[in-house]
Structure 1
Amino acid sequence: MTDPPAVQCGASPADAVTFDNVTVAFPDGDGGLRTILEELDLTIPAGQFLAVVGRSGCGKTTMLNMAAGLVETSGGAVTVLGSTPKSARKRMGFMLARDALLPWRTAAGNVQYGLELRGLKPAAARKEVASHWLSTVHLADHEKHFPWQLSQGMRQRVALARTWALDPELLLMDEPFAALDVNTRRSAQNEFLDLWQREEHRTVMFVTHDLGEAVALADRVVLMGEGGVLDDVMVDIERPRDLTHIAMDSTYQDILERLRVHLRR
């Protein structure tokens, strides 16, 4: 199959995302401020798959939202793809825990929606791109189905196709598989990892509460807490990875235990 038309992106800089001495504080409701992140320094090289883990409230989603230009810093600066987060939005894709599909659109229509917003014309090109990515995530026979006709796992795969259709340089993912049952979740993880491992030039910032998921998928895991980075570890496990058997890998086990020890402190 020939590659479909794609949204063209600019050249990737050496660093995809940089948090430079970033502090974020929100009003606490009592007239004061609650500091979420304090003087955070973190750099994500282009092409790296970074997983961000930590307890609830440690600032994981705040970091993701800053990279997307949805949250402003209280101090410091965030650089995304060599620009400000808001300026880089057309070069990124955002995937949430819930599929957020439009119920009045078919699977194909939902995948095409982002392309419409990005101004990809003509309509035939959008249709071709949508068909390609739905086929890639094994939903070619469901293009005309509405979200209510699809299982939760299928809907999340449509969301994955919608995100990938934008040809993003940077993927921001906030607990994208958390709402799925165990078996469906493993299937969705495999779908996503298979796509990413074919095209490792895409940078991923992946937020999850699941330490095992983080180690299994990512090149690097950052553990957040106390307003900053508690641990930063490279996952030296060969790719492509087999998620069915990765839990038996000694490196996987060692990194998982290291992260668990930090969380128990």
Structure 2
Amino acid sequence: MPTRAHPSKTGPAVADTSARPGGTHRTDAVTFEQVTVAFPAADGGVRTILQDLDLAIPAGQFLAVVGRSGCGKTTMLNMAAGLVEAADGTVTVLGSTPQAARKRMGFMLARDALLPWRTASGNVQYGLELRGVQPAADRKATASRWLSAVHLADHEKHYPWQLSQGMRQRVALARTWALDPELLLMDEPFAALDVNTRRSAQDRFLDLWQREEHRTVMFVTHDLGEAVALADRVVLMGEGGVLDDVMVDIERPRDLTRIAMDSAYQDILERLRTHLRR
């Protein structure tokens, strides 16, 4: 498999993109332009989550968003999904408003949210039904193809209670991918899994994405190691904006069992940890 092209480096291990303009560009999948978000505080005041945020995600890029709890990571994801409105500024998704782009995106959460009365195949088909995909045979064939892609071909007729947590999350992954989304919005999708199951789910996801790199990913996680291992670019959020913006110059395909030994991985991880310690 050919390696993925990356922007040129400014140092031995890390390319910094912090100077990249935040404005809309024809190749940007998601842009935040001068975005401010504030919520009512418990004391009756206002808590500002994001302040004048400028950020652009090029089409086809795998962006991981990290930072301490409450820094606005999930708020950014929800704005891209059209679930949260900015108090000021503009959010553009796939060239239009987030609401208008919803049929072109997929959303995956930390919990699988499978329907307990549907089989694995039925759960994958559910989103296709909502999109009006016909005939039923096409939905079933699509579900079979994606369950096979996440190594669950022998579990199509199993119900969620018959599957492990890791298997259920892979069903959720197949359900998301079956919609053929241009943009994947992922909020801590592997956080609820144990270490070994998480690695397996990460491997399945990364394998799918590396075979179809045209899909843009916005991936929120608390795990810095996961962010660096999976993404093309890591954005560290805090203090209402971007604290650091780093390109991950590690060639693909990546071996998640060995990536921690890569010097570029170690350098980026230490850089992000240093920012968080400040």
TM-score, L = length of structure 1: 0.95
Aligned with residue 227 of structure 1, among 240, 243, 248: 240
SS at match of 1:20: strand
SS at match of 2:30: strand
Distance in 1 (CA, whole Å) between partners of 2:42 and 2:69 is 19
Q: Does 1:256 align with 2:258?
A: no
Aligned with residue 188 of structure 1, among 201, 207, 211: 201
| Cα deviations by residue, 1:103-145 (Å, 9 ceiling, x for unpaired) | 0000000000000001101100000000000011110110000
Aligned equivalent of 1:167: 180
Distance in 2 (CA, whole Å) between partners of 1:102 and 1:86 is 25
Aligned equivalent of 1:3: none
SS at match of 2:141: helix
Aligned with residue 246 of structure 1, among 259, 263, 274: 259
Aligned equivalent of 1:100: 113
| Cα deviations by residue, 1:229-258 (Å, 9 ceiling, x for unpaired) | 000000000000000000000000000000
Aligned equivalent of 1:150: 163
2:144 aligned partner, one-letter code: S
Q: Does 1:137 align with 2:150?
A: yes
Aligned with residue 31 of structure 2, among 9, 18, 39: 18
- After TM superposition, what 4+ stretches of structure 1 lie above 2 angstroms from structure 2? none
Aligned equivalent of 2:72: 59
Consecutive unaligned residues in structure 2, runs of 5 or more: 1-25
Aligned with residue 206 of structure 1, among 219, 228, 236: 219
SS at match of 1:37: strand
1:226 aligned partner, one-letter code: E
Distance in 1 (CA, whole Å) between partners of 2:180 and 2:47 is 37
Taking only aligned residues, the RMSD between alpha carbons, in angstroms, comes to 0.9
SS at match of 1:100: coil
Distance in 2 (CA, whole Å) between partners of 1:198 and 1:107 is 23
| Cα deviations by residue, 1:185-226 (Å, 9 ceiling, x for unpaired) | 000000000000000000000000000000000000000000
Aligned equivalent of 2:132: 119
Distance in 2 (CA, whole Å) between partners of 1:134 and 1:219 is 26
Aligned equivalent of 1:48: 61
Aligned equivalent of 2:18: none
SS at match of 1:31: coil
Instruction: Please state how far the C-alpha of 1:31 moved relative to its aligned partner.
Output: 2.4
Instruction: Please state how far the C-alpha of 1:32 moved relative to its aligned partner.
Output: 1.4
How many residue pairs align between the two structures? 254
Instruction: Please state how far the C-alpha of 1:29 moved relative to its aligned partner.
Output: 2.8
SS at match of 1:192: helix
Distance in 2 (CA, whole Å) between partners of 1:29 and 1:212 is 34
Instruction: Please state how far the C-alpha of 1:30 moved relative to its aligned partner.
Output: 2.6
Distance in 1 (CA, whole Å) between partners of 2:99 and 2:213 is 24
Distance in 1 (CA, whole Å) between partners of 2:43 and 2:265 is 44
Distance in 2 (CA, whole Å) between partners of 1:29 and 1:132 is 48
2:119 aligned partner, one-letter code: T
